[in-house]
Structure 1
Amino acid sequence: MRQAILQPVVVLIAWTLVVLLWAILVRMPAMRAAGIDVRKLTGSKGSDADRALPPKAQWPIHNYNHLMEQPTIFYAVAGVIALTGTGNGANAWLAWGYVTLRILHSLVQATFNRVIVRLALFGASTVCLVALTLHAAMAVFHG
């Protein structure tokens, strides 16, 4: 039986790759404008770019980094849910909620970057993740 929870997982993976491309397309021209020659860089890190580039040019890459953080828990819990055969119905809807909220978070962070809006979206997505985790625990421990 197909597990519907896998669809939002694939969408979030694809979105993460879109954000990476977006970050590259914004950051490279900003680096050129700042006189940074990437061919000559050695051992630099993200904080170096934060000091050298305008904040708005860094917002998409900051969001990409955020997509490497909490969503890793989402991927793991979605995998557990799919493996236990409980990835349809409410769990699929919670997963879609999580992914939708994370995409909205990305759009806010990479464009106008209001922290209070990001915080609300992050909080709501975290509620979805907590619910998914509880459902995964119920499936694994009370099968």
Structure 2
Amino acid sequence: MEAATVLGPVVVLVAWTMVMFLWLYVTRLPAMRRAGIDLKGLVGGRGQNLDGVLDEKIQWKAHNYNHLMEQPTLFYAVALALALLGDNDSTTAAFAWAYVGLRIAHSLVQATINIVMIRFALFALSSGCLILLTIRLLAIALRASG
């Protein structure tokens, strides 16, 4: 396995985020039209202003897209740092893939059935993967610095 192998999960999570972005707008824009919201004259506002205006199932996709802009940014930083430091360990790659798989599962749950306990379990498991990757990065960085 090459060090760049840890980049595969990064690319997949970015691609998944774009899938959620498209899903968000493919569902939200028609819902906004049905709700009588005219984008042409709209000034200001934020996506969260649509909570309570649009069907909550439509908003679930937007909420998940926002979640993909939060904790995964730490994953990107950790994974890229591991790749730059030359980490080619298969365990690192396994935890990175597990993180991405769990985040995709989290997205699918939140965007469809949105059962909070399932979402929480997936979030907790993915967070555990990220914690282990961070510990791995810390160990490698400390070894590299001295």
Structures share a fold, TM > 0.5?
yes
What is the match of residue 75 of structure 1? 76
SS at match of 1:35: coil
CA contact (8 A) 2:3 2:87 kept: no
Q: What does 1:29-68 align with in structure 2 at a 5 Å threshold?
A: 29-68=30-69
Gaps of 5+ in 1: none
Aligned amino acid, residue 68 of structure 2: L
SS class of match (1:52) = coil
Which structure 2 residue ranges, 5 or more long, are not aligned? none
In structure 2, what is the equivalent of residue 130 of structure 1? Answer: 131
1:112 aligns to 2:90 (yes or no): no
Contact 1:8 1:96 in 2 (8 A): yes
Please tell me whether the aligned partners of residues 4 and 88 of structure 1 are also in contact (alpha carbons under 8 angstroms). Answer: no
Secondary structure at 2:51 match in 1: helix
1:63 maps to a residue whose letter is N
- Cα distance between partner residues in 1 of 2:30 and 2:47: 16
CA displacement at 1:3 relative to structure 2: 1.8
**8 Å contact kept, 2:24–2:61:** yes
CA distance in 2 between partners of 1:140 and 1:48 (Å): 43
Query: Sequence identity of aligned pairs in percent?
Result: 52
Deviations along 1:80-118, one digit per CA (max 9) or x if unpaired, are 100111144100000000000000000000001000000
Greater shift in the superposed pair: 94-103 or 81-90 = 81-90
What displacement does 1:39 show? 1.1
For this pair of structures, how many residues does the alignment match?
143
Q: What value does the CA root-mean-square deviation take over the aligned residues?
A: 1.0
Q: Which runs of 4+ in 1 moved over 4 A?
A: none
Matches of 1:74 and 1:47, distance apart in 2: 25
**Whole-Å separation in 2 of the counterparts to 1:49 and 1:107:** 21
1:142, distance to aligned residue in structure 2 (A): 1.7
1:22 and 2:23 correspond: yes
- Whether the aligned pair in 2 keeps the contact of 1:78 and 1:87 (CA below 8 Å) is no
Task: Compute the TM-score of the two structures, normalised by the length of structure 1.
Answer: 0.97
Task: Report what 1:96 is aligned to.
Answer: 97
